[in-house]
Amino acid sequence: MTTGGATGRGDKFVAPPVFAVVLAGGRGERFWPVSTEAQPKAFLRVVGSESLLQATVRRVRLLLPWSQIAVVVEKKQADLVREQLPELPAANILLEPQGKDTAAAIGLASLHIERLDPEAIMIVLPADHYVPDGEAFVAVLRRALDLLALQPDWVVVCGIPPTRPETGYGYLEISEPLASSPGAFRVRRFLEKPDRQSAERLATDGCHYWNSGIFLWRNVAIQNLLAQHMGEVWAGLCRIREARGVQEALVREYRTFKKQSVDYGVLERMEGRVVMVRADFAWDDLGAWDALARVLPVDDDGNVIVGEVQLLDTTQSVIVSDGLRVATVGLSEMIVVASKDGVLVCPKGRAQEVRRLVGKFR
């Protein structure tokens, strides 16, 4: 199965194959103590009976067959991928010796796709986002693929209309709309996670969207961009590609890679060649425990309750038990999470800071 726009091969025009690359290497540190190094957030059943990884791949399967889906993950989580996605071909589980953020992971995936079809298109998706409407999700991807058919050298990113001031997300600033594609805009610049005052302005000015981390590009285009903007990483990837002992080369080269996102290393340096498709589907990146209040049912007092929990005079809080009994008295606007790996207690308004706390443990 293929989908997307046309590309020239000889004197014919055929649709290039499309591959989805699901990035499952994140640690999900703000979901500590349930998300751990042994079982990061993407593998957790945070919402419903599926893990976030399983739900992501199920959405992609509405568009592509198993043979055109790859998962990039740290080697230590390989068994988790096999357990949760038994239908995924073994060759499509791409193992990193260690996590080096998205640029290296995408580069590694590009080598895999290159061997399958040099003309292919790559869709990059985080493994740990919440998108309840799979059909709407696929419709946006099809629009993005149509844009690539018109301009094969573009990078297309899916932008989420902001619904609140959010300090935990990156933003896209748009410029002029594309006349050829309703709901698509040129991206003027990428913005890092803002402070509260800036987030309030960005959420309401009509010129900014949340950066979903969902990207589309031709495989050869992202390789060229890595070579241009992240030459050391691309040189290392080329040495991996040419090595006889691939595993040894992977370990050797990954050790030298800087930890850097593709947003910072590549996309922020592109002038006028990044376009955004407005993504009109419900979305949440579930970045921290307070996000559960946006995606799970709440009780009459505004609490999200997961697991074996008893509450007394507790309101507007997130209380999670992962195998332990939890009881709270007199709490308001709090997060309490208990698992065999630890207990977290913090105000909802400081959920983003849990990552700093985990860093102290490490």
Q: In whole angstroms, give the CA distance from residue 352 to residue 296.
A: 19
Structure tokens at 176: 């002029």
Q: Position 270: which residue type?
A: M
**pTM for the predicted model, two decimal places:** 0.92
Residues of the chain with pLDDT under 50: 1-2, 4-13
Q: Quickly count: other Cβ atoms within 10 Å of residue 121's Cβ.
A: 29
Measured in degrees and rounded to the nearest 5, phi and psi for residue 163 equal: -115, 0
What pLDDT score was predicted for residue 13?
41
Q: What pLDDT was estimated at residue 6?
A: 43
Question: To 5 degrees, how large is the angle CA 37–CA 42–CA 46?
Answer: 105
pLDDT in the model for residue 172: 96
The fold adopted by the segment(s) 7-286 is Spore Coat Polysaccharide Biosynthesis Protein SpsA; Chain A (3.90.550)
Distance CA 219, CA 287 (A): 28
Q: What is the pLDDT of residue 15?
A: 67
Q: Distance (Å, rounded) from C-alpha 15 to C-alpha 114?
A: 16
Give phi and psi for 159, each to the nearest 5.
Answer: -105, 135
Q: How high is the pLDDT of residue 7?
A: 42
pLDDT of amino acid 10? 42
Q: Which residues pair with 173 in a beta bridge?
A: 189, 208
Of the candidates 263, 230, 254, 270, the residue with the CA atom closest to the CA atom of residue 72: 254
Contact 268, 260 (CB under 8 A): no
HSE on the CB side for 101, CA within 13 Å? 13
Q: Where are the domains of the chain?
A: 7-286, 290-361
